[in-house]
Amino acid sequence: MAQYITTYTGVHFYPTEPEPDGIRIEDIAHSLSMLCRANGHYREFYSVADHSIDCAAEAAARGLGAYTAMLCLLHDAAEAYISDIPRPVKRELYGIYGIEEKLAAMIYKKFIGREPTEEELAKVREIDDAMLFHEFKENMGEELVYGEIVSERSFRSRQPGEAEKEFLELFGKIENEMLRSEKRQ
């Protein structure tokens, strides 16, 4: 029998057997605002929500549109249910990618209406990697081998409540942009 977690909004959520009705943007924003990037090893707290907000801002600065900005905002949303696992560890955890991909697909379908294409995911990964480079440079003084960004980001740590609020506000703003874009088509 699958085990559940109790989310911020009180949902009993089964990460290995997820249901779309159990996924709430409020749970995602809250959880990501409380999860520290780099497994807590940055010099100061910098949350997954901070990172997601900065990735969405980078997509917007690159002129990639509301859809890609929303993909960037939600690209780590599955971590609200399975946590942020450092890349070297995640690569060794059998089955974790399948769980994460299933959750991510469900989240994308729920909030965007469909799963992204490989080309769209490649753009998100490019931004994600570029942000990782700049986060480490800013927060640790270490330069990893990743790309450049065009947005002006401070990589500042927001208080969890502030990051949660900004995540939800940005979600609403991008969602409205996507709806306006759909109406024009």
Per-residue DSSP letters for 101-136?
HHHHHHHHHHHHSSPPPHHHHHHHHHHHHHHHHHHH
Residue 118 has pLDDT above 90, yes or no: yes
Q: Which residues pair with 36 in a beta bridge?
A: 47
What is the spatial distance between Cα 125 and Cα 102, in angstroms, rounded to a whole number?
Answer: 17
Structure tokens at 128: 């994600």
CB 14 within 8 A of CB 3: yes
Reported as a single tens digit per residue, the pLDDT across 102-111 is 999 999 999 9
- The residue with greater pLDDT, 155 or 29, is 29
Per DSSP, helices labelled H in the chain are 25-34, 48-61, 65-74, 79-82, 87-90, 96-112, 118-140, 160-184
Rounded alpha-carbon distances, angstroms, from residue 39 to 60, 86, 96, 151: 27, 6, 17, 25
So what's the pLDDT on residue 151? 73
- Per residue in 146-171, pLDDT (tens digit) is 566 677 766 667 788 888 998 899 99
pLDDT-wise least confident of 43-47, 60-64, 145-149, 170-174: 145-149
Per CATH, the homologous superfamily of domain 5-184 is: Hypothetical protein af1432 (1.10.3210.10)
* pLDDT computed for residue 110 by the predictor: 96
φ and ψ of 143, to 5 deg: -105, 110
Does residue 73 surpass a pLDDT of 90? yes
Query: How many whole angstroms from its chain centre is CA 102?
Result: 15
Beta bridge partners of 12: 6
pLDDT over threshold 60, residue 33: yes
Cβ 74 vs Cβ 184: under 8 Å: no
Cα→Cα distances 171→25, 81, 88, 90, 127, Å = 9, 18, 30, 27, 18
What is the predicted pLDDT for the residue at 136?
82
pLDDT at 43: 85
The mean pLDDT of the chain is 89
